[in-house]
Structure 1
Amino acid sequence: MNALVICSGGMDSIALAHKIAAERALTRPVSFDYGQRHKKELDSTRACAARFGVPQDVKDVIDISAVRRLLTGSALTDSGSVPKEHHAEDLMRIAVVPNRNAIMLAIAFGIAAAEQAESVAAAVHGDDRFIYPDYHPDFVEAFATTPRHAFGEMPKIALYTPFIRRVKADIVREGARLGVPCAETWSCSQGGDHHCGRCGTCLEWREAFLLADVEDPTPYEKPDYWVEACREHQEKQPSRGSELAIAGPMK
């Protein structure tokens, strides 16, 4: 079964693209410019497409940035600061872009129908379901029924979400198994020359690499901030203990 993948350029979606290319047939990555401050992630998607010889150029990035002025209230699109705290769900929720996945899925299904792809793949995963409503299995299960009603007699298109009940550490292990060039992905919520090492997304991926027992090859602007963040997390939640040992900075 072939598939197009909704690909941001982050570790999770790039790992998914590699998984599809290895297990079925990757038709193309579909990327979106929604006015995100970390637009640099789109370069990672183009590099991934080039590795597999599938279409993805500047003109293939779908520009929905015009809706940015309406999808307000997210740190990823507004001028406010991006959360810089480890596992602070109340703070991380300000990075939610309203209905983003539903918008992207609807467009991706239209492209899949036009190109006669058999499935649309999305890298929604278990770690973010508590923060992002459109990462929850209930949302995915509900949206998967949409093509049955939207396309009438056209061939049915499946929604493929193999990471839905897995966590970031699982994705890191899968990426390592598939040979994903992790250093060429972009998951940071900022848009600098290197991953900042301070935003919630950077901290979550550093944790994921540690839990997966896989070396993190990502260059960070603040590589030592990881130790400080782990210590603060332990101090704020002493009754729960910590999932992590403070192992020192990873360069």
Structure 2
Amino acid sequence: MSNKATKKAICILSGGMDSTLSSYIAKKDGYEIIAVHFNYGQRTEQRELKAFRDICSDLDIVNKYEIDIPFFTQIGASALTDESIDVPVDGVESGVPITYVPFRNGIFLSITAAIAEKEEAQAMYIGVVQEDSSGYPDCTDEFISDITKAINQGTKETTNIEIITPLVHLSKQQIVQYAKELNVPLEHTWSCYKESDEACGVCDSCRLRLNGFKLANIKDPIPYKV
């Protein structure tokens, strides 16, 4: 058993506000962080990669993985990975939004579990948000609990991984406030689904983010078109 000083956590870090705060919480929890980022053909892939690298530098993370998952663009079915489907900007979708990428978190967690097993990490952090998310089925407590069980079932007996979701029951307002408390460099994060130079301000992700800042009475430090 590794001693407490060297407990390791793999943080799934997209470069967005939620995953960045999660990584800062992992640091506060005393873990040595190994960061994992996925390039999966999303519209803002290059901008998210820049955010990931900036945040790794802020957190002094040396051990990091940048993983390419090209097949999401092959299957399409999501406005994030299929250029022929427009990203909705009117905020009136009901049910699972068109920005949902099929089983994305399940695939991310499976790949991360393989890395965790290799690195002998005890935990994986993911910034899923249940109540204030866009209604994605792979962001719930129940899903995380079931996939944790499956991962531990399908790995070596000596592998015992806990999936930690520190934000799952927080609102975007609480996330902004918590990030402020931990001095998270929010100016390095990127949330927009559509644009890479200035955030669009009208997609679901921008709306949720801007509303969180507004309710927290804090100014969002990134540039917006609208």
TM-score, normalised via structure 1 length: 0.81
Contact 2:96 2:136 in 1 (8 A): no
One-letter amino acid matched to 1:81: D
Structure 1 residues 56, 193: CA separation in 2 closer, same or farther (over 3 Å shift)? farther
1:29 partner letter: A
The answer to whether the aligner puts 1:154 opposite 2:180 as a matched pair is: no
Aligned residue type for 2:201: G
Residue of structure 2 equivalent to 1:95: 99
What SS does structure 2 have at the residue aligned with 1:73? coil
Secondary structure (helix, strand or coil) at the match of 1:98 reads coil
Shift of residue 130 of structure 1? 5.9
Does structure 2 retain, via aligned residues, the 8 Å contact 1:130–1:136? no
* Structure number with larger C-alpha Rg: 1
- Distance in structure 1 (CA, Å) of the matches to 2:34 and 2:176: 22
- Name 1:83's counterpart in structure 2: 88
Task: Structure 2 unaligned segments of length 5 or more: list them.
Answer: 1-6
Partners of 2:195 and 2:141 in 1: how far apart? 30
User: Can you list the C-alpha shifts for 1:199-231, whole angstroms capped at 9, x where unaligned?
Assistant: 111111110111122222221012xxxxxxxxx
**Aligned residue for 1:237?**
none
Query: Deviation at 1:73?
Result: 1.3
- After TM superposition, where is structure 1 displaced by more than 6 Å over at least 4 residues in a row? none
Moved more, 47-56 or 116-125: 47-56
Q: Over residues 133-159 of structure 1, what are the superposed CA-to-partner deviations in whole Å (9 max), with x where a residue is unaligned?
A: 001121111112123211231231111
1:68 to 2:73 alignment: yes
Q: CA deviation at 1:129?
A: 5.2
TM-score normalised by structure 2 residue count? 0.90
Counterpart CA distance in 2 for 1:192 and 1:144 is 34
Relative distance call for 1:215 and 1:205 in structure 2 (3 A) is: same
Q: Which runs of 5+ in 1 are unaligned?
A: 223-251
For the residues of structure 2 that align with 1:67 and 1:190, how far apart are their CA atoms? 17
Q: Match for residue 12 of structure 1? A: 18
- SS of the aligned residue for 1:69 comes to helix
Alignment match of 1:117 (pick from 110, 115, 121): 121
Query: 2:58 aligned with 1:51, yes or no?
Result: yes
Give the letter aligned to residue 41 of structure 1: E
Partners in 1 of 2:117 and 2:132 — Cα distance? 28
Structure with the bigger RCO (C-alpha within 8 Å, sep 6+) is: 2
What is the root-mean-square deviation of aligned Cα atoms in Å? 1.8
